[in-house]
Structure 1
Amino acid sequence: MMKAFTLTFLLLAGMALCAIAQNISSFNPGELWLDTDGKHINAHGGGILLHQGKYYWFGEHKVEGRQGNSAMVGVSCYSSADLLNWKNEGIALKVADENSGSEIEKGSIIERPKVIYNKRTKKFVMWFHLELKGKGYDAARTAVAVSDKVTGPYTYLKSFRPNAGEWPQNFKEEWKHKTVQEKDMKAWSQEWKDEVAKGLFIRRDFEKGQMSRDMTVFVDDDGKAYHIHSSEENLTLHLSELSPDYLSFTGKWITIEPAGHNEAPAIFKHKGKYYLITSGCTGWDPNAARSFVAESIWGPWKPLGNPAKGEGAELTFDSQSTYIIPAPGKKDTFIFMADRWRPKNPIDGRYVWLPITFEDDKPVFRWEKSWKLKDSF
């Protein structure tokens, strides 16, 4: 009798949990975010794709313990009609078996996956930051996979360091011929920073390609796509044009905020201007966000300061940017999407989504413990 009662209780409790998960009506930043199966959403460092009226959330699938900072499963995919209630669509990109020789074998590092749709080829294209197994963060590569179906499975194509043999568009001619090297200066001295801004690492990596770590992708109104990533030992952001099929780089690129030490780029377009939100570089620890604006995607990019306002803004409310989402049904409104990293137990990482407003033509977001789309813009 007691056993039957216990089973019945557990069944009812599970059904109640699922019912709660399936009827989320507000965003609750930093709290457990349950999917329609009643499990915490496992899509870290992710991005959102809106396709045929439905939202798809792609992110890093984490596991328990410190090994969870490596790719042990792959890239998750969830779907939603309202950005609140998410259905687990499974693993969109699976890692390969150990000792398979694949660049994305189990134990490699896959970070910040983003998916865009190519209307011309009718392919879904996934870009992500890849570090090869057993090499720490030395590889600093970008990687691409493709699928005929939004939820996958995605087929891994290749990884590489971008823009080998190509100078940035906003690079001065005299900088190409400088001979100063890292060994000639003290790291982090003002002289060293000045030389980084003048291409110290760009020249170093010119032949083999530029480093690519934290990244995002962006499709403009004309269908052209761009890849933005942290490069030059995380000191400078690079913005590169993707080929018409979105599967490679054209060789046209610029630097943004040279030697500024930015990562975690998230980009959006508002009333004809381009806005970029980034973070500083403090490992897994949060720091103050930064923001930039440009009239053209090719710059020049102007710094706007910290977009976070209020108590907790100096640490971006204990989070780090990953993507900017246009708010559904709200013209010229956006949602700031960020992660709270928990490197000791990555699967328990939390999500911080907050509404973006504009003040004096600058993007701004403030902490809200709970908020709804209809009330926050």
Structure 2
Amino acid sequence: MRLICSIVLSLVCSFVFSQSNFFNPGKQWKDTNGVHINAHGGGMLFVDGAYYWYGEYKTSGRGGNTSLKGISCYSSKDLYNWKNEGIVLKVEQDHNSEITKGCVMERPKVVFNKKTGKYIMWFHLELKGQGYDAARAAVAISDTPNGPFKFKKSYRPNKGVWPINFDDKFKSASSDESALKSWTPEWREAIKNGMFIRRDFDKGQMSRDMTVYVDDNDKAYLIHASEDNLTLHISELIDDYLDFTEKWTRVAPADHNEAPAVFKKGGVYYMITSGCTGWDPNEARSFKSKSIWGPWESLGNPCIGKDASLTFHSQSTYILSVEGKKDQFIFMADRWKPDNPIDGSYIWLPITITDEKPILKWFDKWSLLDFKEN
């Protein structure tokens, strides 16, 4: 009897001690089974008292930068302790499938559609063996937040449609733009004036790093890096969130942004992005607007303190609005480890808004109790 009691007590203590009530940015984050959380480039959804964290499932070695398993999901009641829900969108063994094993599935974001009662996942898809040339937006659907999700289709958005903030005079190419040397001021000006929009007009606009934002009126938008990562696009989704309305706009043309993350406070939309330096960290950027359609005003780097110029050695992926807490937002980011992707870690930090500007400050350890009313 004493032995049994001792074992039970040991198990209880082990469970209690394994629970966390703090965020430890950059440190290894284990799930409730004691295994490192594997949900990179992730997004978040709150459903019936639980948070669901979706992300890229990475494996070891350079090959782990491709999708060998699929999209993973974890659930939590408190944001600290996460249960592994498994792979909710699996790669397929069929070599003819667009999501065949070895493709690239990145930055999954899941939203709930009130009209249909379905869970909709959008993600960035690159076809197997094509590098990053496909640049497609992909969509999957499920009846439940923890899947399984069924892949629907992938394609480039806004085929044959001009953005709403595009001047008619730029709808025809200049005679000499094809001869411009890349990265010169003249070339950047041509990008700003729509050179790549015209190039991709008939086949659809590129869609790489992305997020999905659902507004207060249930309108949803895909915000994605396009034009060879030189310009961000905001594309409105139709009522069931499974396609595009063909209404879209450009943000920061030729400014070279990716990794967009969006939130809204006090009627103002905010966006945090990164520069484009591959897997290496760089200085974050921030923007604000009174309308999702712009104009978007550049606010500069939101990070302050040590390593602010490198976004604390991370890259944005999502901004979480804490459920039931007014104006409390968490900046979610990744520390990539491309040589062994499974070792990538996560940076979660509280966002403070000062004079309509988002501020990110480093904390070695923090909790939801540290939030101050903005």
- Are the aligned partners of 1:18 and 1:37 in contact in 2 as well (CA < 8 Å)? no
Asked whether 1:101 is paired with 2:99, we answer no
Asked whether 1:70 is paired with 2:66, we answer yes
Q: 1:118 to 1:278 in 2, by over 3 A?
A: same
Q: 1:360 to 1:94 in 2, by over 3 A?
A: same
Amino acid across the alignment from 2:341: P
Q: Distance in 2 between matches of 1:47 and 1:181?
A: 42
Amino acid across the alignment from 1:72: L
The alpha carbon displacement at 1:177 in A equals: 1.8
Amino acid across the alignment from 1:289: A
Amino acid across the alignment from 2:47: H
- Are the aligned partners of 1:69 and 1:346 in contact in 2 as well (CA < 8 Å)? yes
The alpha carbon displacement at 1:213 in A equals: 0.3
Match of 1:40 in 2: 36
Secondary structure of residue in 1 paired with 2:353: strand
Asked whether 1:60 is paired with 2:61, we answer no
Q: 1:65 to 1:18 in 2, by over 3 A?
A: farther
The alpha carbon displacement at 1:17 in A equals: 6.6
Amino acid across the alignment from 2:187: W
> How do residues 305-320 of structure 1 correspond to structure 2 at under 5 angstroms?
305-320=300-315
- Are the aligned partners of 2:332 and 2:347 in contact in 1 as well (CA < 8 Å)? yes
Stretches of structure 2 that go unaligned for 5 or more consecutive residues are 1-8
Match of 1:322 in 2: 317
Asked whether 1:299 is paired with 2:299, we answer no
Match for 1:202 among 197, 205, 212? 197
Amino acid across the alignment from 1:65: G
Asked whether 1:130 is paired with 2:103, we answer no
Deviations 1:89-143 (A, max 9, x none): 111100001x531000100000000000000000000000000000100100010
- Are the aligned partners of 2:46 and 2:323 in contact in 1 as well (CA < 8 Å)? no
Secondary structure of residue in 2 paired with 1:177: coil
Q: Distance in 2 between matches of 1:65 and 1:181?
A: 44
Deviations 1:230-255 (A, max 9, x none): 00000000000001000001100000
Q: Distance in 1 between matches of 2:232 and 2:338?
A: 24
* Count of matched residue positions in the alignment of Structure 1 and Structure 2: 365
- Are the aligned partners of 1:18 and 1:38 in contact in 2 as well (CA < 8 Å)? no
Match of 1:246 in 2: 241
Q: Distance in 2 between matches of 1:193 and 1:344?
A: 32
Q: 1:181 to 1:367 in 2, by over 3 A?
A: farther
Match of 1:5 in 2: none
Q: 1:254 to 1:280 in 2, by over 3 A?
A: same
Asked whether 1:285 is paired with 2:285, we answer no
Stretches of structure 1 that go unaligned for 5 or more consecutive residues are 1-11
- Are the aligned partners of 2:161 and 2:201 in contact in 1 as well (CA < 8 Å)? yes
> How do residues 323-362 of structure 1 correspond to structure 2 at under 5 angstroms?
323-362=318-357
The alpha carbon displacement at 1:53 in A equals: 1.8
Output the aligned Cα RMSD: 1.6
Q: 1:342 to 1:20 in 2, by over 3 A?
A: farther
Match of 1:147 in 2: 142
Give the TM-score, by structure 2 length. 0.95
Give the TM-score, by structure 1 length. 0.94
The alpha carbon displacement at 1:224 in A equals: 0.5
Q: Distance in 2 between matches of 1:334 and 1:287?
A: 22
- Are the aligned partners of 2:259 and 2:273 in contact in 1 as well (CA < 8 Å)? yes
Q: Distance in 2 between matches of 1:303 and 1:297?
A: 14
Q: Distance in 2 between matches of 1:289 and 1:368?
A: 17
Match for 2:163 among 160, 168, 181? 168
Q: Distance in 1 between matches of 2:127 and 2:176?
A: 27
